[in-house]
């Protein structure tokens, strides 16, 4: 099946993902004006993002399960309302704890509903061009920093951070709610597959999934994913504030995110081609080393052009590496356990992402400089590369598929 309406679902999914992820990851632009106006610590404000990563990771499982029962469209509609409500409450908050719960709990928790349900709905529409369709939906998240972050910066400069966050909340709901109505399940997507070769009974599939999570392959995969995200989340979150301290205007500092976003798009393409030619494991190790070097080099910046150069390297490195974990997982594990494996790995990565914002804020509040953030993040990045060296040879896990070595 390759229905034309599937491309409508792809376009809707990309737009929704862009707006939802962009609204969440625009928080670094708010950091400086929020700290100046409220007197809240950077660690406290960053704590909202830390909470958000944890809630988003856990929520991804819950939203995904719910979408299997009631479909992607109602899940996305509920999440859009929750996202808007969280941002509206956060924009009015006068207490740090209220802000952390509203932004990190409600708004970021809703973002977990905009990936797995949309990807699942998209896959159902395509027999051909399935990879292209899924990639196009995922690109929404990569484009988000290039769109939403500069927009937030402009609005903050014109109206202040509270009004900017409120306007973005309303704008996201105005666009996402009607767009979500375009999301439809594919015809006959619930056809019985029990007679398909390699199909397993639900109980056996569940047993295989839990067995997969106890394998050395998954443990190393999850640990590498965790360290990779823990390494780059702090620099990503705090670079805008760092650039402003170095003398860049708020708009120019926000544009660093746009550079990282563009570099990440090229990184996905380049690293993907290299993975097919020289092996996924080698490319992951090389990308993680490049990420660590790029992070470390931030301690030598002296102007905006230096920030742009580092953003090109870091954006290409982490943007290129991130999709490869799914490819490596597919080489280790059979299709019937991929949902559990990728869901658990993504939750682990979300926990890793959670450490960077609050850790970077604490280091700045303690030492009055971002120097130690980049030193610590580079060291974690090196640990991720060394962990990737420990990837064991693949073996058959959770099904009958013969696995290829990375």
Residue of higher predicted confidence among 132 and 5 = 5
Total domain count for the chain?
2
Evaluate whether residue 197 is within a structural domain.
no
For residues 144 and 239, state if they share a domain: no
**pLDDT score for 405:** 36
C-alpha 303 chain-centroid distance: 28
Residue of higher predicted confidence among 96 and 237 = 96
Q: pLDDT (tens digit, 9 = 90+) per residue, 26-36?
A: 888 888 899 88
Residue of higher predicted confidence among 71 and 76 = 76
**Of the residues 150, 182, 214, the one at which a domain ends:** 182
Q: Which run of H or of E encompasses 357?
A: helix 338-367
For residues 310 and 367, state if they share a domain: yes
Q: Name the range with the highest mean pLDDT among 53-62, 181-190, 259-268.
A: 259-268
- Of 161, 173, 24, give the one whose Cα is nearest residue 93: 161
For residues 357 and 222, state if they share a domain: yes
- Long-range contacts made by residues 37-44, C-beta under 8 angstroms, separation at least 24? 37/160, 37/161, 38/94, 38/96, 40/96, 40/99, 41/361, 41/365, 42/238, 42/241, 42/360, 42/361, 42/364, 42/365, 43/358, 43/361, 43/362, 43/364, 43/365, 44/96, 44/100, 44/361
Evaluate whether residue 190 is within a structural domain.
no
For residues 257 and 377, state if they share a domain: yes
Evaluate whether residue 169 is within a structural domain.
yes
Structure tokens at 250: 């708020």
CB 15 within 8 Å of CB 179: yes
3-state SS class at 394? coil
Q: Rounded CA gap, 257 and 333, in Å? A: 34
Instruction: Return the biggest CA–CA distance within the chain.
Output: 64
For residues 149 and 9, state if they share a domain: yes
387 pLDDT band, cuts 50/70/90, is very high
Q: At residue 207, does pLDDT exceed 60?
A: no
Tell me what the pLDDT averaged over the chain comes to. 81
129 pLDDT band, cuts 50/70/90, is low
CATH number where 276 lies:
1.20.1250.20
Please name every residue paired with 189 in a beta bridge, in sequence order, or none if there are none. none
Share of the chain above pLDDT 70, in %: 82
Q: Rounded CA gap, 288 and 388, in Å? A: 9
CB 44 within 8 Å of CB 171: no
- Among 24-33, 167-176, 267-276, the range scoring the smallest mean pLDDT is 267-276
Evaluate whether residue 306 is within a structural domain.
yes
* DSSP annotation string for 358-406: HHHHHHHHHHSSSHHHHHHHHHHHHHHHHHHTTPPPP---SSSPPPPP-
Structure tokens at 71: 């479909």
Q: What is the mean pLDDT of residues 123-128?
A: 68
Q: At residue 83, does pLDDT exceed 80?
A: yes
For residues 309 and 241, state if they share a domain: yes
Evaluate whether residue 187 is within a structural domain.
no
Supply the pTM of this predicted model.
0.67
For residues 102 and 213, state if they share a domain: no
For residues 98 and 221, state if they share a domain: no
**Of the residues 149, 182, 215, the one at which a domain ends:** 182
Evaluate whether residue 404 is within a structural domain.
no
For residues 176 and 211, state if they share a domain: no
CB 118 within 8 Å of CB 99: no
For residues 149 and 227, state if they share a domain: no
**Domain span including residue 18:** 1-182
Torsion, CA 8, CA 9, CA 13, CA 19, rounded to 10: 40
Sign of the alpha-carbon dihedral angle for 88, 93, 99, 102: negative
For residues 152 and 3, state if they share a domain: yes
For residues 207 and 265, state if they share a domain: yes
Evaluate whether residue 347 is within a structural domain.
yes
Residue of higher predicted confidence among 24 and 112 = 24
Evaluate whether residue 400 is within a structural domain.
no
């Amino acid at each position: 099946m390759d229905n034309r309406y599937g491309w409508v679902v792809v376009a809707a999914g990309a737009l929704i993902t862009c707006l939802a992820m962009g609204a969440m990851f625009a928080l670094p632009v708010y950091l400086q004006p929020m700290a100046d106006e409220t007197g809240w610590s950077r660690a406290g404000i960053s704590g909202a993002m830390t909470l958000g990563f944890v809630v988003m990771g856990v929520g991804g499982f819950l939203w995904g399960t719910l979408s299997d029962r009631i479909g992607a469209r109602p899940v996305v509609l509920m999440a859009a309302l929750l996202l808007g409500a969280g941002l509206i409450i956060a924009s009015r908050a006068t207490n740090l704890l209220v802000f952390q719960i509203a932004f990190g709990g409600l708004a970021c928790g809703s973002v977990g509903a905009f990936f797995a349900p949309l990807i699942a709905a998209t896959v159902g529409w395509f027999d051909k061009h399935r990879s292209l369709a899924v990639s196009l939906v995922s690109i929404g998240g990569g484009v988000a920093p290039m769109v939403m972050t500069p927009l937030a910066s402009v609005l903050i400069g014109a109206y202040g951070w509270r009004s900017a966050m409120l306007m973005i909340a309303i704008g996201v709901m105005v666009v996402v709610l009607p767009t979500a109505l375009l999301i439809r399940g594919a015809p006959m997507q619930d056809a019985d597959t029990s007679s398909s070769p390699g199909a397993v009974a639900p109980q056996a599939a569940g047993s295989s999934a839990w067995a997969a999570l106890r394998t050395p392959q998954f443990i190393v995969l999850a640990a590498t994913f965790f360290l990779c995200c823990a390494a780059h989340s702090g620099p990503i979150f705090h670079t805008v504030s760092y650039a402003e301290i170095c003398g860049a205007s708020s708009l120019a500092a926000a544009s660093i995110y746009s550079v990282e976003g563009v570099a990440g798009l090229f990184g996905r393409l380049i690293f993907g081609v290299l993975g097919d030619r020289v092996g996924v494991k080698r490319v992951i190790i090389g990308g993680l080393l490049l990420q660590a070097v790029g992070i470390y080099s931030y301690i030598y910046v002296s102007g905006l052009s230096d920030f742009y150069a580092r953003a090109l390297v870091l954006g290409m490195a982490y943007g290129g590496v991130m999709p490869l974990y799914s490819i490596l997982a597919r080489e280790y594990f059979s299709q019937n356990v991929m949902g559990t494996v990728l869901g658990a790995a993504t939750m682990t990565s979300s926990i890793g992402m959670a450490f960077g914002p609050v850790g970077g804020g604490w280091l700045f509040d303690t030492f009055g400089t971002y120097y130690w953030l980049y030193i610590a993040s580079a060291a974690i990045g090196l640990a991720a590369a060394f962990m990737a060296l420990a990837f064991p040879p693949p073996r058959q896990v959770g099904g009958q598929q013969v696995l290829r070595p990375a």
